[in-house]
Amino acid sequence: MAKNVRKFLWISLICILVLCIGVFVWITAYMIDENDRTISDVGEIYMSEMGKQISMHFATVMELYQSKLRGVTGSNPQEEADGADTAAEELAASAAVFGFNYLGLYSGNGSYEDVLGGEIVVDGEEAFTAALKSGEAKITDAKNKDGETLLLIGMPAAYPMGNGEISTLLIAGVPMETVNETLSLEIGATQVYSHIIRHDGTYVIRNADAAESSYFDRIVDYGNFDGQSPEEVVGKISEAMAAGAEYSMVIEINGEIRNTHFIPLKDSDWYLVSVLPYGLLQGPTTRLLYQRIYVAIGGCMVIVLAMLLAYIRYFRMSRQQMRLLEIAKKEAESASRAKSAFLSSMSHDIRTPMNAIMGMTAIAAANLDNPAKLQDCLKKITLSSKHLLGLINDVLDMSKIESGKLSLNMDLLSLRETMDSITNIVQPQIKAKKQNFDIFIGTIQTEHVYCDGVRLNQIFLNLLSNAVKFTPEGGTIEVRLAQENSPKGACYVRNDIRVMDTGIGMSPEFQKSIFNSFTREDTSRVRKTEGTGLGMAITKYIIDEMGGSIELRSEVDRGTEFHIILDLERGADQEKDMFLPDWELLVVDDDELLCRTAVAALGEIGVDADCAFDGKTAVEMTIRRHRERRDYQIVLLDWKMPGMDGIETAKEIRKCVGKEIPILLISAYDWSEIEEEARAAGINGFISKPLFKSTLFYGLAPFSEYYRAEYEQDREEADDYTGRRILLAEDNEINWEIVNTLLSAHGFVIEWTKNGNECVERYEASPPGYYDAVLMDVRMPVMDGYEAAKQIRESGRTDCGIPIIAMTADAFTEDIRRCLESGMDAHIAKPIDIRELLKILKKHLRKK
């Protein structure tokens, strides 16, 4: 059976091959014959269209010359002509300006006077002048005294002539050679050229190798026609010209076949003869013909081979499909593992702030009798809660990040508060690994910029989280921030951010792919470290969306540095004028850069400060000033210094100068860890790094009598919201209890409705002005918040403009936009930040 199949296939293949050869031999002969006819047809079409184009160009050129002739008369109005001599001079000057080589006048009785260019002999003068006098547009040619051929045009004009008559026509001429160049009738790169002839065949313009005085003589002398005599062809051409019709033919002259086309020219008795050498079309079309033949033969062979391969392919198809299914399975498993790894990493990242929240809650519960400690714990719980909320938002927004639709919410933020928040979040991780951490602040032009705060936190936390993971115990992690002028203009500031560590570093190969999604270095050094490989890709995406850049420098076992540049819009400085008394301070820090930048920042707020780079020098400087009775007003000590640390330095200073000089500890670490020991050593307080100008100001201001009194006055002048009524639409009882508790503590009276419909009914049943504001949840049963807000706005009441504030867990940019479009005044996201809510209420509540 298999043998019969093979025999059948071979016989079929031979028969198909023979049939293909026979068919293609016949097709080849037929195509060669058709190729010649096609060349003639294409040549005729081409020459016809080209002739029409040249004819239209000729008409356009003639209209241009007529326009120029009108320009000559326009420059010399006939009614202002002042004598024959003057008129002739002015006309001649104008004609030369407009490019005419000849100008003459004709009177009504046939008198002629040349104005420019001398005497000429006009071809068909009577017919030419008669046509012009009758108002027709007419052109002809003439010979000047030098034998040069001119193209003549004319128009009616009345100018005084030298013989005392008044002219009826103004005739102008240009060299026929100029016309030839303008129309590009000579042989060019395409080898196509043209003649202009009269009805009798004589040349007006002659090009190429034509030596005869008549084109018809050239045909008769050299023409060779298939089945026709030259005289018969000349007769047909003459008949077509007499009828004003187009005519095409193929002629062989001197062994060269040429496509020739005749077309009449407007406003003349002339014909345009365009010539295309047959070889220009024959060569490409013949090559195309043989290419098609070769391709067809090749195609036949391909078809035969395809038939053979089809049978083989059929048997292999199932095996290949199984392989593809196996590959798809592995890809799906890989994607599943990547997603699982991502969720594992997110679990780790979520647990970090959760650990801080739970730990600070436990500490707060153990220190209920210590208000300062309790306040510090609550502050850190709030910061960690915000970070946790940011992570949750990132998870919910992941699909948008992957699809390239990440949206940024550029709002005003404080870099000082951002860096404080980052410091508090990463401190527990750094403490657990016993690493050294510091933040250095360089020159800062403005602490307030417009940026997406959540995304900026995400950038810092991604980088610092990696630094903590891949830096061993005892290693160092640093963050440096400085500002300079931005190339984007005075409204922007360039933020130079560096995150550095002394960790395990990266290989050069991995550095090339670190910003790719789900990418991790597959070495024994990092296998035990959890991570998705997604953080750096997201970081790069966010920075790109902000219009910034990120660069990486790393060496294996030497550490890593990420350098970020962000040009951010400057924000208005929200801090009041910061200026301290002209104190003299001592700043002690083993990092020279930090010490000098702190001194510079103190100088900007009016304080003169000295530097010391170790504890021993600080003690010596303090003792020397004390002996000179020029004690420092305040001493700022870094906690972690080699040799003598901040606490030991404070003890030595107290031994020599007593307790009068305030000593403050500066550190990026948690003050609560060392507060008891620091107080015992004589340290009066703590200033947390990073040392922004405002950080130093608010840390030192309490030691000034002026600002101490001002702070006490500010605390006494709190906003009073007693009796202000708020209508709350919220379907969740726990949320109602939280809002009621938080706002009632500030004097607000809260009335609760459980859905949008109840909210509208309660509002409409109240007298105008009864409620001061409406807090509106968005997702509620019966009627949602969007519809409720619209109905309140459309109620027609005098207080329909009551402030309506969206209070919802729908926190994305499009959700905020939809709330505002439905008529709400502002938006606040759950979980509620009471400070933010009070700020919004203060902004929108009417004064009473």
What average pLDDT does range 813-819 have in this prediction?
Answer: 77
Say what the pLDDT of residue 312 is: 62
**Residues β-bridged to residue 634:** 585
> pLDDT by residue (tens digit) across 421-432?
888 778 877 887
Residue-by-residue DSSP string for 513-534: TTTSTT----STTTTTS---S-
Residue-by-residue DSSP string for 278-302: HHHHHHHHHHHHHHHHHHHHHHHHH
What is the rounded CA–CA span in Å between residue 391 and residue 465?
Answer: 13
Share of the chain above pLDDT 70, in %: 79
Q: Strand 247-253 to strand 223-224: parallel, antiparallel, or no bridges (unpaired)?
A: antiparallel
Residues 407/813, Cβ–Cβ less than 8 Å: yes
User: CA-CA distances (angstroms) from residue 47 to 39, 76, 235, 254, 295?
Assistant: 12, 43, 21, 21, 31
10 Å CB burial of residue 778 (0-12, 13-18, 19+) is buried
Residue 134, Cβ neighbours under 10 Å: how many? Answer: 9
Residue 89 pLDDT grade (very low, low, confident, very high; cuts 50, 70, 90): confident
Between residues 389 and 121, which one has the greater pLDDT?
Answer: 121
What average pLDDT does range 140-155 have in this prediction?
Answer: 88
Q: Over the chain, what is the mean pLDDT?
A: 80
Residue for token digits 């208000």?
371
> pLDDT by residue (tens digit) across 176-186?
888 888 877 77
Say what the pLDDT of residue 186 is: 75
CA atoms lying within 13 Å on the CB side of residue 392:
15
Give the total residue count for the chain: 848
Residues 715/739, Cβ–Cβ less than 8 Å: no
Question: Which domains, and CATH codes, for the chain?
Answer: 181-280 (3.30.450.20), 397-570 (3.30.565.10), 584-716 (3.40.50.2300), 725-844 (3.40.50.2300)
Say what the pLDDT of residue 527 is: 45
What average pLDDT does range 669-683 have in this prediction?
Answer: 80
- Asked if the model's pLDDT at residue 531 lies above 50, the reply is no
User: CA-CA distances (angstroms) from residue 453 to 308, 354, 413, 825?
Assistant: 66, 20, 7, 22
Share of the chain above pLDDT 90, in %: 15
Say what the pLDDT of residue 848 is: 47
What is the rounded CA–CA span in Å between residue 704 and residue 605?
Answer: 13
What is the rounded CA–CA span in Å between residue 301 and residue 307?
Answer: 10
> pLDDT by residue (tens digit) across 449-482?
999 887 888 889 889 988 988 899 889 999 999 9
Residues 6+ apart with CB under 8 A from 611: 586, 587, 588, 589, 592, 595, 596, 599
Residue 88 pLDDT grade (very low, low, confident, very high; cuts 50, 70, 90): confident
Least trusted range by pLDDT, from 311-320, 346-355, 559-568, 585-594? 311-320
Write out the H or E segment, with its range, that includes residue 451.
strand 448-451
The candidate with the shortest Cα–Cα distance to 172, out of 117, 124, 245, 107, is 117
Residue for token digits 């104008």?
94
The candidate with the shortest Cα–Cα distance to 429, out of 381, 459, 465, 456, is 465
Residue-by-residue DSSP string for 366-379: HTTT-HHHHHHHHH
Residue 640 pLDDT grade (very low, low, confident, very high; cuts 50, 70, 90): confident
Provide the residue type at 586 as one letter. L
- Asked if the model's pLDDT at residue 655 lies above 60, the reply is yes
What average pLDDT does range 238-266 have in this prediction?
Answer: 83
Angle at 716 between CA 719 and CA 827, to 5 degrees: 25
Say what the pLDDT of residue 316 is: 62
